[in-house]
């Protein structure tokens, strides 16, 4: 019995140390106002894919509700307040710009919104400093498979990979490690 208690306490301590060293990140996804209703499904798929990549990389990640006011993305302080309230170290804001029409492909029996561009911004919450901002022109990505959801997940994986690399580079260059 004593051994179990000892192992349980040791496990909690190790978990606490690991959790204390992990970065906390808030994901804030916003899409344009003119996007068709079906775009929310793709936005959820993108958010979910990025969330999974951050989780797999060992980051403690939270998210805000997907916003439908994409014009507010231009405000460099967008999402910082929510991330600060969540005690996050970093904020990743993702702006999804969809075409205005819902597309139906009768051959594949699928309805979707066409994602035109994805712009993401990485911010250090404590200083509100924009670390990096990138734009992905989704229309220029070569389609190897028709599935528009696969394409959006690919774009999400690219965004997650690039933003995770940016966090690592930022932390390497920071003096207060």
Q: What is the 3-state secondary structure (H, E, C) of the chain?
A: CHHHHHHHHHHHHHHHHHHHHCCEEEEEEEECCCCCCCHHHHHHHHHHHHHHHHHHCCCEEEECCCECCHHHHHCCCCCHHHHHHCCCCEEEEEEEEEEEEEEEECCCCEEEEEEEEEEEEEEECCCCEEEEEEEEEHHHCCCCCCCHHHHHHHHHHHHHHHHHHHHHHHHHHCCCC
Question: What whole-number percentage of the chain has pLDDT above 70?
Answer: 84
Question: Mean pLDDT of all residues in the chain?
Answer: 84
Mean pLDDT of 73-80: 86
pLDDT of amino acid 88: 94
Domain positions in the chain? 21-173
| The CATH number, out of the four listed (3.40.50.300, 3.55.10.10, 3.40.1260.10, 3.40.50.10070), of the domain defined by the range 21-173 | 3.40.50.10070
For residue 4, pLDDT over 80 is answered with no
Mean pLDDT of 149-176: 87
pLDDT of amino acid 177: 43
Per-residue pLDDT of 5-38, as tens digits, reads 555 564 554 444 444 458 999 999 999 988 888 8
pLDDT bucket at 1, cuts 50 / 70 / 90: low
Residues 100 and 115: beta-carbon distance below 8 Å: no
For residue 101, pLDDT over 90 is answered with no
Per-residue pLDDT of 117-160, as tens digits, reads 999 999 999 999 999 999 999 888 766 667 778 888 899 999 99
Mean pLDDT of 82-108: 90
- Closest to 125 measured CA to CA, from 91, 92, 95, 94: 91
pLDDT of amino acid 119: 95
For residue 113, pLDDT over 70 is answered with yes
């Amino acid at each position: 019995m004593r051994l179990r208690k000892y192992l349980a306490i040791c496990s909690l301590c190790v978990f606490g140390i690991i959790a204390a060293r992990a970065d906390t990140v808030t994901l804030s996804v916003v899409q344009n106002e003119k996007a068709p209703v079906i775009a929310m499904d793709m936005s959820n798929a993108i958010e979910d894919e990025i969330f999974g990549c951050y989780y797999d990389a060992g980051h403690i990640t939270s998210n805000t509700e997907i916003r439908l006011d994409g014009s507010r993305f231009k405000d460099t302080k967008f999402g910082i307040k929510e991330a600060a309230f969540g005690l996050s170290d970093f904020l990743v804001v993702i702006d999804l710009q969809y075409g205005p029409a819902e597309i139906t492909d009768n051959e594949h029996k699928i309805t979707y919104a066409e994602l035109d561009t994805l712009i993401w911004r990485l911010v250090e919450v404590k200083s509100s400093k924009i670390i990096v901002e990138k734009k992905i022109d989704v229309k220029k990505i070569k389609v190897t498979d028709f599935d528009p959801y696969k394409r959006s997940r690919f774009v999400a994986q690219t965004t997650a990979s690039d933003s995770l690399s940016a966090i690592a580079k930022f932390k390497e260059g920071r003096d207060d490690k």
